[in-house]
Amino acid sequence: MITMHPTRRVPGRLQTIAFALAALIAVVDQAAKAAARAQLDAPINLTPFLALRLGFNPGVTFGLFAGSGAVGRWALSAVASLIIGALLAWIWRTRSAVTAAAAGLIAGGAIGNLVDRLRFGAVTDFIDLHWGAAHWPTFNLADAAIVCGVALLLLTVRGSDSRAASSTLGRAAR
């Protein structure tokens, strides 16, 4: 009797690099947040528009769901875990280096913020961009990685749409 075993896919170089990028983002983010929690007793103005100012966000972007308490904390953590799982699966399956890098940035940032939410009940923020009295909501390196990853994905989608449109136009002209 012949037994068939499903072929296991071994991560390629692309996936290994993307997983390493996600891990690196999460580790650097956690180290920066630990330094901020340990050192930022008072705000430090670095430039006229950039300061380091310690803050904690129990919600999500722009403080949404901040007042949702323990139920919100665990619900947000569960949703973040599902998103991280989907991103890691996407990395596993993609053949695009850009998509893998973007998903790695987003996953690493999401992991960094999830660790904070589970450990402290809130995400540690410390980067304060401002112009005069107008302040952007304080954020962290994980947030920056997520934004960069999403921007990279949007540029990739935009680029693939324009390539598809130009190839369609080229065929129509013939």
Query: Quick one: pLDDT at residue 120?
Result: 93
- Known catalytic residue at 29: no
Q: What is the mean pLDDT of the chain?
A: 85
pLDDT-derived band of residue 58, with 50, 70 and 90 as boundaries? confident
- Known catalytic residue at 116: no
**What is the average per-residue pLDDT within 94-101?**
94
List the catalytic residue out of 29, 116, 125, 128. Answer: 125
Query: Quick one: pLDDT at residue 133?
Result: 86
List the catalytic residue out of 29, 116, 128, 143. Answer: 143
32 vs 66: which has the higher pLDDT: 32
Per-residue pLDDT tens for 106-159?
999 999 999 999 999 899 999 999 998 898 889 999 999 999 999 999 998 876
**What is the average per-residue pLDDT within 24-31?**
98
Query: Quick one: pLDDT at residue 60?
Result: 62
Kindly write down the DSSP assignment for every residue of the chain, as one continuous string. Answer: -PPP-PPPPPP-HHHHHHHHHHHHHHHHHHHHHHHHHHH-SS-EEEETTEEEEEEEESSSGGGTTTT-HHHHHHHHHHHHHHHHHHHHHHHHH---HHHHHHHHHHHHHHHHHHHHHHHHSSEEEEEEEEETTEEPPPB-HHHHHHHHHHHHHHHHHHHHHHHHHHHHHHHHH-
| The pLDDT of residue 10 is above 70 | no
